[in-house]
């Protein structure tokens, strides 16, 4: 038993030895002797350790009850769902735990410490203190016949998922991802079935089938059929296909992709604006720059599109219209003519909002200005390190003064002199 209080009793059952093929190896049972209750909070944790080792956060796994809400982190929280009266049993925690332990090369002994906190809106609750209840078990490799069953299950889950984005439950999705990322259980997923799933992903414009993409690019990245599939996808489902390719930028590259991607980037700067298509496209080409660098016609086309979309979206936070992003994207075009285009910004003392105000950047430090960001961009276009480190700035109090600016201005003046001596390309 885990805990008992307020007419609620939680019991856990564990089977040992157990393996990935056994869906019911770990079960949670809740006995509710009172009325049905809406869940105010539910938190189930099960840190685990291998035999002979100490507990580590790296060994935590997330589990959930039935259809209760799941988050993609180490714990689960469920609000607004109903715990029925009577006996409620679920094997879902075991399904999530299975994905953590996976398909081991050899049998492994574990101990997990389980804690549960359950609070209903009517005030009834169960609360366990850490370290919780220790459970020991052996995690084994499935038998050959069980692996074949898992392979069939992976195929069935893929077929089910292609029907609807919501067809798989949270636990099924977790198991499905594990099977796709495990060579022995994904072995029977064919190339054509995987590509059909990716086409569905692109048509829907969803984030589904990430693991199918990983499977494709681990097994068939140079397959002519895969190259032809994405070449067609770039032409017919451009933004969605480009979003896919960006996730596997280097392994997904084929020389035939260059012109379709450049065309998508150029088109993204026209109405209606497609800022993420431009960002994905520029990043994809930047990751593969050594493979197309001899085509000198490409960088000017990229920089033109970046400038067009920047001025169309100027000052829009988180977009190419933000100056910080504008500088970064211009560098990734590899257009050295932008060195001279950027020189006037070396005199621009506008405070950059992102580097100076964003929660992603250091706080309470000297604000960075457009002049420093432009200097950094020019330096990178020259193939050199940044001049100003956004993470190493003097601590100051707002609204200033900012003594560090004087030193930065001196550095920019020296940099300007060096640029004056360079021939313009």
What mean pLDDT comes out for the span 162-182? 82
pTM for this prediction: 0.80
Structural domain includes residue 400? yes
DSSP-derived secondary structure letter, 351: B
Tokens of 225: 């059929």
Please identify, among 120, 141, 162, the residue that sits at the C-terminal boundary of a domain.
Answer: 141
**pLDDT mean across residues, the chain:** 88
DSSP-assigned states of every residue in 92-120 = HHHHHHHHHH-S-SS-EEEEEEEEEEEEE
Is residue 53 very low, low, confident or very high in pLDDT (cuts 50, 70, 90)?
A: low
Domain count, the chain: 2
What mean pLDDT comes out for the span 316-334? 95
Structural domain includes residue 135? yes
Structural domain includes residue 318? no
Q: Could you give the CA distance from residue 301 to residue 86 in angstroms, rounded to a whole number?
A: 67
Structural domain includes residue 8? yes
Above 50 in pLDDT, residue 62?
no
Structural domain includes residue 235? no
Contact between residue 425 and residue 390 where contact means Cβ atoms under 8 Å apart: no
State how beta strands 48-50 and 86-90 pair: unpaired
Please identify, among 95, 119, 141, the residue that sits at the C-terminal boundary of a domain.
Answer: 141
Report the residue count for the chain. Answer: 425
For position 54, what pLDDT does the model report?
Answer: 60
Structural domain includes residue 107? yes
Please identify, among 141, 175, 198, the residue that sits at the C-terminal boundary of a domain.
Answer: 141
Domain harbouring 101, CATH code = 2.60.40
Structural domain includes residue 258? no
Structural domain includes residue 175? no
What mean pLDDT comes out for the span 100-123? 89
Domain range for residue 395?
A: 336-425
């Amino acid at each position: 038993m885990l805990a008992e209080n307020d007419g609620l009793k939680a019991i856990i059952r564990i089977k040992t030895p157990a393996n990935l093929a056994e869906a019911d190896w770990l079960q949670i049972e809740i006995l509710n002797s009172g009325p049905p209750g809406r869940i105010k909070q539910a938190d189930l944790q099960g840190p685990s350790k291998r035999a002979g080792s100490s507990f580590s956060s790296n060994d935590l796994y997330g589990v959930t009850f039935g259809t209760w809400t799941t988050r993609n982190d180490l714990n689960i929280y469920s609000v607004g769902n109903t715990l029925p009266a009577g006996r409620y049993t679920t094997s879902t925690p075991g399904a999530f735990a299975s994905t953590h332990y996976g398909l081991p090369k050899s049998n492994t002994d574990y101990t997990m410490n389980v804690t549960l906190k359950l609070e209903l809106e009517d005030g009834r609750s169960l609360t366990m203190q850490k370290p919780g209840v220790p459970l020991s078990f052996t995690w084994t490799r499935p038998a050959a016949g069980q692996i074949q069953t898992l392979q069939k299950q992976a195929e069935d889950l893929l077929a089910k998922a292609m029907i609807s984005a919501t067809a798989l439950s949270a636990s099924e999705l977790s198991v499905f991802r594990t099977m796709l990322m495990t060579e022995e259980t994904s072995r029977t997923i064919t190339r054509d079935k995987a590509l059909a799933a990716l086409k569905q992903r692109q048509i829907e414009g969803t984030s589904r089938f990430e693991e199918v993409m990983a499977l494709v690019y681990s097994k068939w990245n140079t397959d002519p059929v895969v190259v032809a599939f994405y070449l067609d996808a770039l032409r017919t489902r451009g933004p969605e296909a480009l979003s896919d390719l960006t996730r596997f930028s280097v392994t997904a590259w084929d020389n035939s992709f260059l012109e379709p991607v450049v065309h998508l980037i150029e088109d993204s700067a026209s109405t209606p604006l497609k800022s993420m298509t431009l960002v994905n496209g520029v990043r994809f080409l930047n990751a593969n720059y050594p493979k197309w660098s001899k085509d000198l016609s490409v960088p000017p086309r990229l920089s033109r599109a970046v400038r067009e979309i920047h001025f169309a979206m100027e000052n829009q936070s988180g977009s190419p219209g933000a100056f910080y992003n504008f500088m970064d994207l211009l560098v990734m075009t590899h257009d050295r003519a932008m060195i001279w285009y950027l020189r006037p910004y070396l005199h621009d003392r506008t405070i950059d909002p992102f580097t100076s105000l964003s929660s992603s950047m250091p706080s309470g430090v000297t604000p960075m200005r457009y002049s420093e960001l432009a200097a950094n961009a020019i330096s990178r276009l020259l193939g050199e390190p940044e001049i100003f480190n956004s993470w190493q700035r003097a601590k100051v109090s707002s609204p200033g003064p900012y003594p560090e600016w004087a030193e930065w201005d001196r550095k920019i003046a020296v940099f300007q002199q060096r640029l004056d001596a360079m021939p313009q390309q």
